[in-house]
Each structure stands twice: as C-alpha cells, then as structure tokens.
Amino acid sequence: MAETSVDHAHDTHEHVDESQRWEGAVSPFGASYGKIMMWYFLVSDAFTFAGFLIAYGALRFSMPTWPEPDFVFASFPFVDAHWPLIFVTFMTFVLIFSSVTMVRAVQEGHRENQRGVVFWMFLTVLGGATFLGSQAYEWTTLIVKENVTVTQNPFGRHTADGVYLNADGSEAKNADGTPKTFFKDQSYLIHMHDGKPSGLVYHDPAQRGEGMTSHENLKIKYTTGAYAGQVKEAAFGPKAFGALFFFITGFHGFHVFSGVLFLAIIMINAGSGLYAARKNGYEMVEKIGLYWHFVDLVWVFVFLVFYLL
C-alpha cells in the first residue's frame, strides 16, 4: 500500500493551534483563499439556479395542466421510436462519468502526477463536450421537429375525457370502426404545418411500443367535465414551458460550456508544467473540479424537476 497522502497539500496547516486560526497566521477555514472563494461563488450560483427552478415550480403549480416529461422527451438519435427518458438518462450518465474522471484528476494532482492530471482532465473535457452535443440534439428536436419556442408550446394535455372529431363534425373512427377517444390528462403534440396548427399527434396506449398516432385536425368533443358535450379545439399547452425549459437547461448548458473551456485551459497549463512548478498539489485543478462537480449537482435537480416529476 502506498502511504502517499492525497491531502498532503494541506499538511502545512496541520499543526496550527485552533485559537490561532483567526489571528492571521493561516486561513481560518484551513483552505486557500482561491478554494474558499470558489465555494462562495458556487453558493451564489446555487441561488441563481434555485431562483430559476423555484420560478419553474411556481408557474407549474399555477397551471391546470403541464406537459408530461415522458411524452415530451421521448426521442433518440437515429431511432424513430418513442423511448421515454432514455436519452436524458444517457446525458445524466455522461455527466456522472465526467464528474468521476474529474475526481481522479484532482487525486492525481495531489500526488503531483502531471501525466495523470492531463489524462483524466482530457476525459473530463470529452465528457463535457459529449453532454453539450447531446443537449444540442435535444434542443434541435424540440425546436425544429416539435416547434417548441420560448413563446410557443405545442405540448398539451386533455382536461377531460372525450372523442376526436372529423372536419365535418362527425366522430372520428379507428381502423376497426371504434370511435377515436382520448382520456383526461392524455398528452398530445399539436402538429404544425407552415406555422399553423394542423393536427394532433399522440401516443395511443392501446398500441404500446408502436409509436405515435395522429389526428388530422384539432376538433375534439368532451364527454366528461365542465365542457361535456361541447365541441372545442385542442389548445396549446402552458406557454411558460418553452421559456422555462430553454432558459434553465440553457443556463446549465452555458455552465457546462464555460466549464469545458476552463477545463481545457487548465489541462493545457497542467501539461505545460505550470502547476508542477507551483508545488501546491495542483490546486487550480481542485478549484475547477469544485466548479465541475457543481455543474453535475445542478443537473441532478434539473433532471428531477424537468424529467422525473
């Protein structure tokens, strides 16, 4: 067993009398100025994200319906299938892996192992870039294919049970002659044609795993609820959804993007021997590591509120 301590960078503070900590001899928190300031920056950043996520929660609670995540986030690259939450699980794993490689880089830094630091930081940069690419795919699908924008949300949910109608007002029929019905809380996507809503796309639970079913116009008739018997047009979902999704995942993605940039800069510096000359256990790697774990931490909560709840 190697007896090398991973914490030896802090050993200079080891034998300080506790009462001396506030006397200016050493940092009262036993950590360097840079690390403490990184922690307080992360506290302030946590408040910014909390503000966004609380706004999301408050607006969601104020709406009678909200788009269902497993219906909205169900596409997967190169596969024409309805796979709820699978792609975003992949994205989550990418971030977990990049967090793990970051911890390894910090540990190799404590051992003053320059090659190890560069190797593990390179894997972390790759993980961050993969996450950004995945997010680009997700955004592209939502914007180009599903027509979600910051002011428009075609993902809605029925507020009561009912039946789909043909353009002439008669009840629409399935291939086997039964009426095309929907149920309360069932999700639909309004299909857009030349910028105008032209029909509905939905997942029929009776045809499990067989993808989506469509309906050519927006006309529906409710059979239960406050509007029973009335003919309506299926409405767009809560408008706030698009703005909240793009701002919050965008702000997180911006953190990932700047993280990747700084990781790359610090990786190049480490490779050039700059931090080895400082002989402080690669503290710069430790600081960018704190930031990078924070980005993963925020994703835990973005994943919770946007995709799981």
How far is 128 from 252, CA to CA, in rounded Å?
Answer: 12
How far is 201 from 259, CA to CA, in rounded Å?
Answer: 38
Query: Judged by CB under 8 A, does residue 26 bind other proteins?
Result: no
Is the distance from CB of 56 to CB of 66 less than 8 angstroms? no
- Residue number, 275 or 292, with CB nearest to other proteins: 292
Looking at residues 75 to 114 of the shown chain, list those that interact with other proteins (rule: CB under 8 A): 84-86, 89, 92-93, 96-97, 99-100, 102-104, 107, 111
How far is 80 from 21, CA to CA, in rounded Å?
Answer: 62
Query: Judged by CB under 8 A, does residue 153 bind other proteins?
Result: no
Q: Judged by CB under 8 A, which of 20, 23, 25, 29 binds other proteins?
A: 29
Is residue 36 helix, strand or coil?
helix
Q: Judged by CB under 8 A, which of 14, 17, 176, 194 binds other proteins?
A: 14
Helix (H) or strand (E) segment spanning residue 187 = strand 187-193
- Residue number, 3 or 176, with CB nearest to other proteins: 3
Cβ-based neighbour number of residue 72 at 10 Å: 23
For 88, the token pair is 């975003």
Q: Judged by CB under 8 A, which of 60, 114, 166, 246 binds other proteins?
A: 60
How far is 296 from 103, CA to CA, in rounded Å?
Answer: 12
Query: Judged by CB under 8 A, does residue 208 bind other proteins?
Result: yes
Size of the site for other proteins (CB under 8 A): 65
Compute, in degrees rounded to 10, the torsion defined by CA atoms 10, 128, 123, 114. Answer: -30
Q: Using CB under 8 A as the criterion, which residues of the chain lie in contact with other proteins when the complex forms?
A: 1-7, 10, 13-14, 28-31, 36, 39-40, 42-43, 46-47, 50, 54-55, 57-64, 68, 70, 84-86, 89, 92-93, 96-97, 99-100, 102-104, 107, 111, 185, 205, 208, 289-290, 293-294, 296-297, 300-301, 303-304, 307-309
